[in-house]
Amino acid sequence: MKITFRIWMQDGPNSAGEFVEHAPEGLAPDMSFLEALDHVNESRILSGQRAIEFDHDCREGICGTCGVVINGRAHGPLAATTTCQLHMRSFSDGDLVTVEPFRARAFPVIRDLKVDRSSLDRVARSGGYVSTNIRAAPEANSILVPRHAARAAFDAASCIGCGACVASCKNAAASLYTGAKLAHLSELPQGKIENTLRVVRMVEAMDREGFGSCTNTEACEAACPQEISAHLIARMNRQYNWARLKSLGRKLT
């Protein structure tokens, strides 16, 4: 099949970038999108040009490192699909496919399609943990977890931290990511002790990193490859407001 790629190339965060077109030979419908980019790089290397840099790791839709914007959509045209799970059969013969990095102030470009998403890691580190005494492993059933809580925690914990929610949001908000990280801990008995402190730390860390505010367009939910619900954002806001009210009440007394 014949596909023309229009790919963003940029040497670094302070350099000017530009789109470069490639129409590689030998693309097949069953190729994954990343294999097609590999094909582009092979042709560039053989012609003496440097390879276009992009992030990838597992290529199984698990690690969340492969995110790029394809024809204006984070991860491409298919719902619940990461970039590495996307195949060339999702495009028509003769298509022009534009590929660019995630655009957000909190995601500075490293080079080409690679962006620095360590801001998400810093948000998680600010409060995304449970303090516990570490000795021998506890008996598996010593803390009972209701089925509905376990299911809700698992659904929230399925977030792979790819940043598609940020890239798809007009304000570059990380509210869905942060809401998911909060929900998967606050649903479990082990995480409830630190709920109040955790939500304040993570929301304030999100603000410090330069992420925007949520305006409830729910573009994040539409772009999320794990289909995490935007209702977790409302839950996060409720938790944060309640935590601030409790803090104010302590100051007044």
pLDDT one-digit tens code per residue, 98-122: 999 999 999 999 999 999 999 999 9
**CATH superfamily, with its number, for domain 118-252:** Alpha-helical ferredoxin (1.10.1060.10)
Instruction: Write phi, then psi, for 34 (nearest 5 degrees).
Output: -70, -35
Enumerate the domain spans of the chain. Answer: 4-110, 118-252
Mean pLDDT of 72-86: 97
Mean pLDDT of 12-19: 94
pTM > 0.85:
yes
Q: Please determine whether the domains at 4-110 and 118-252 fall in the same fold group of CATH.
A: no
Res 253 pLDDT > 80: no
Res 71 pLDDT > 90: yes
**CATH superfamily, with its number, for domain 4-110:** Beta-grasp domain (3.10.20.30)
Q: Tens of pLDDT along 202-241?
A: 999 999 999 999 999 999 999 999 999 999 999 999 999 9
User: What residues pair up with 10 in beta bridges, in sequence order?
Assistant: 17
> If you average pLDDT over every residue of the chain, what do you get?
94
